[in-house]
Structure 1
C-alpha cells in the first residue's frame, strides 16, 4: 500500500490523535464512544504504515490499540477488548512503554478474571512481575507511577501489606510531584486495599478523600468505581440503604458516560443489599435481572456469583427467614409476614427460634418478654393469647395437628429443632475472591 505526501500526513495526524485519545467527529468522523468496529480500520491503516520511518511508530500503534481496547472494555465487549489489548502488546516496547504495558496487562488480568481463565490471568500476572523487576533496574529514577504500579502488581499476588506500603509511597510522591490524576488512583487503590484487608473504616476515609479530589478533577470512571466501593463497604457494614443509594449513584454516573461494563455488577450489588436487608423477593428479581443483563458465557465470574445467590435465596429447604431489623419473616409456603406492629410476638418468636429444643416456662417468658415477675392472673392469659396469635401467623394453613414451629410441652414452649431457619444477619455477602484480587471495577 502506498500513499502520497498528503495521505501520509493524514495517517500521521490520525496516529497523533489516537495517541492522545482525542478522536473527535471533526477529525475522523466519529467519536471515542462510537462503534469500535468503525474505528478499527483506522488503526489497521496505521499498522500498515508502521514500517514507514518517520510516519508512524510502533508506540503510536500500540497506543491506538490500547485506546480501542478501552472502548471495547467500557462497552462490555470483553472479547473485542482482549483482542485489542493483545495487539497493543505486540507493538509496545516493554521498557520504553513500560507503564502502558503494565496497564494493558492490568486490563487483560481483569478480563481473564471475569472469564474465570485462571491460567491466562496468572500468565499476565507473572509477566507484570517480570516487567516491574526490569523497570526497577532500567529506570533512572523511581517515580510515583513506578511505586503505584508496584503496588498494583503486589496486589495481584495477594501481598496486601506490601501493596499498601507501595501505594502509600506513591501517594506521597504524587503529592510532591503534583500529579492529581495519579493521586486519585492511589486513593482508590488504597481504599480497595483496605477493603481487602477488612479495614472498612480506613477504606471509607480514603474514599472520602477521593470524593473531595474528584470534585476538582473530573475522572468519570474513577467516580463510578468509587461509588461502587462505597456500596460494597456499606453492605459489609449492614447499612444496606446507604449501599443501595451508592449503587444508584454509580449506575447513573456510568450510564451518563455510556460505560456499561459494570452494569451487571451494580445490579448484583443492589440485589445483595436487598437480600441482606431481608427483602428476599425483591432481591431474587434483581438477581435475575442482573443475570439477564450480561452475556453469561463471557461474564462467567459474575454469573457464577449470581447463580450461587439465586440458589441461596431459592433454598427450598429453609422453612423460615427471620429478619429482626425489618421486623418481618418469610415462611416457605406463606411468603412474607410483616411483624412491624407485633413487637411482642416477634420477641417471642426470636427467643424461641434462637433456642430450638429449649423449653421456656411461664415464669421465664414473663421475665424475658414482659420484663416482669410472673403473675398467673396477668400472664397466663397473656402468654396463651400471644402464642396462639403467633402460631396463626407463622404456621402453614395446611399443617397437620402437630405444630410445625412452636411446640408446647409440660415444661413450657419451645421451637421445633427440626425446622430449618435462617436469620437475615447470617446471610453473608458472597466474598469469593476474584483471580488476581481484581474485578472490573478495580483501578488499572
Structure 2
C-alpha cells in the first residue's frame, strides 16, 4: 500500500466516523499525491468523499472549488466522472434545495451505474431518486416509497449497511410527511436496529432528530424532547454544521430546553456562561476573560488582531514584548474554562493574524 493509499484509507475511516477535520486533511494529501501521479480514478475517489464532507459542513465555496477541479479534469484530460461522484454532487445540490440539479445528477449516476452493473452505485442512485421525490417541493411521496421498495429488494441480496440505515430513515421521513406516524415510528426503530451494525454517530443523530419530530407530531412532547436532547449531545457543531442547524430548527419547533439548544449561553447579568457539556461557568472577578469572551461571542467569525485585543480589552497601547505572551496565556486560560476538550478547541480558534469565535457554534446572548 502506497503513502497515498494509506492517507485515503485514513481519510475514509475518519469520514465514516464523522470526524471531518482529520478526514479532510488525509483526503487532500491523498488527492494531491494521486493527481501528481496522474492516477485519476483514485483522485476521483478522494474528491468524491470530500464532496460528502463539504456537504455536511455546508462549505459551499469548497463544493464549488471541487466541482471546478472535476470539470477541469473532464475538459483537459478527457476523464469521465463516475456514478458515485454524480451521486454526491446530487447530495450537495439537494442540501442547497436545487431540485432540478439534484435530479439531473441522480439520473446521470443511475445511468452510469446501470451501464457498469455496479450494484452499490445503483442503490445509491435509487436512494437519490427517493430523496428527490420526497422533497416537499416535489412531494411525489408514492414514487419515493416505490424507490425505497426497490432498495429493499436489493438489500435482501446485497449488504450495504450504511445505505440501508439511510434508506430506513428516509422511509420514516416520507411516512411522517404523509402523516402516517405509527408506520413511521415502526420504520425508524428498524433503522435503530440496523444502526447497531454501523455505529455511525452522524446517522444516529439524524435518526434521533427524526424520532423526536415524529413523536412530537403524535403529541408525545416530552418523549420528543428526550430524543432531540440525545441527538444534540452527540452533535459536534464545528464538524456537523448541517446537522446542528437541523437540530436547532427542531429544538425551536419542539420547544426543547434552551440549555440543550445552544453550545454556549452567555449570561451578561450574572457574569456566567453555560456550556452544553460543562454546565455553568462562573466568571465573577475574571473581568478580562469575560470581556474577551463577550467580544468573541457578540461577533462570531470576526478575526481580532493582537493589537485590537490589547487596545480594546486591556485598554493599553500594544507592545509585542509585553503583550504577546499575555494574550497567549489569557486565551489559554479562557479555553481551559469553556472548552470541553482543551486539546481540541471548538470555540476559540487562532488565525494567522489573530483569534476568533467559531461562527458555527450555537450561541445565545442573554442581556
Report the counterpart of residue 189 of structure 1 in structure 2.
128
The alignment of Structure 1 onto Structure 2 pairs a total of residues equal to 251
Q: Is the 8 A contact 1:254 1:260 kept in 2?
A: no
Report the counterpart of residue 180 of structure 1 in structure 2.
119
Q: Deviations over 1:37-82 (max 9, x none)?
A: xxxxxxxxxxxxxxxxxxx4xxxx3332232222223333333333
Q: 1:62 to 1:111 in 2, by over 3 A?
A: farther
Inter-partner Cα distance in structure 2 for 1:285 and 1:140: 49
Q: Which has the higher helix share?
A: 2
Q: What's the RMSD between the two structures over aligned residues?
A: 2.9
Report the counterpart of residue 102 of structure 1 in structure 2.
47
Q: After TM superposition, give the deviation of residue 297 of structure 1 in Å.
A: 5.1
Q: Is the 8 A contact 1:65 1:84 kept in 2?
A: yes
Inter-partner Cα distance in structure 2 for 1:175 and 1:65: 30
Q: Is the 8 A contact 1:148 1:167 kept in 2?
A: yes
Inter-partner Cα distance in structure 2 for 1:73 and 1:178: 26
Inter-partner Cα distance in structure 2 for 1:66 and 1:141: 21
Normalising by structure 1, we get a TM-score of 0.50
- Matches for 1:370-389 after TM superposition, within 5 Å: none
Secondary structure of 1:278's aligned partner:
coil
Q: Is the 8 A contact 2:168 2:187 kept in 1?
A: yes
Q: Deviations over 1:205-245 (max 9, x none)?
A: 11111111122221111111111111111121111222222
Q: Is the 8 A contact 2:57 2:242 kept in 1?
A: no
Report the counterpart of residue 10 of structure 2 in structure 1.
68
Q: Is the 8 A contact 2:15 2:53 kept in 1?
A: no
Inter-partner Cα distance in structure 1 for 2:247 and 2:198: 26
- Matches for 1:179-328 after TM superposition, within 5 Å: 179-196=118-135, 197-296=138-237, 298-314=239-255
Report the counterpart of residue 366 of structure 1 in structure 2.
none
1:127 and 2:69 correspond: no
Inter-partner Cα distance in structure 1 for 2:251 and 2:98: 32
1:90 to 5, 27, 32: 32
Inter-partner Cα distance in structure 2 for 1:296 and 1:204: 32
Larger radius of gyration: 1
Inter-partner Cα distance in structure 2 for 1:127 and 1:232: 32
Inter-partner Cα distance in structure 2 for 1:203 and 1:190: 7
Q: After TM superposition, give the deviation of residue 129 of structure 1 in Å.
A: 2.1
Q: After TM superposition, give the deviation of residue 109 of structure 1 in Å.
A: 0.9
Higher relative contact order (CA 8 A, sep 6+): 1
Which consecutive unaligned segments of at least 5 residues does structure 1 have?
Answer: 1-14, 16-55, 114-120, 317-444
Inter-partner Cα distance in structure 2 for 1:111 and 1:210: 24
Runs of 4+ in 1 over 4 A off after TM superposition: 140-158
Which consecutive unaligned segments of at least 5 residues does structure 2 have?
Answer: 258-367
Q: Is the 8 A contact 2:164 2:194 kept in 1?
A: yes
Normalising by structure 2, we get a TM-score of 0.60
Q: 1:304 to 1:166 in 2, by over 3 A?
A: closer
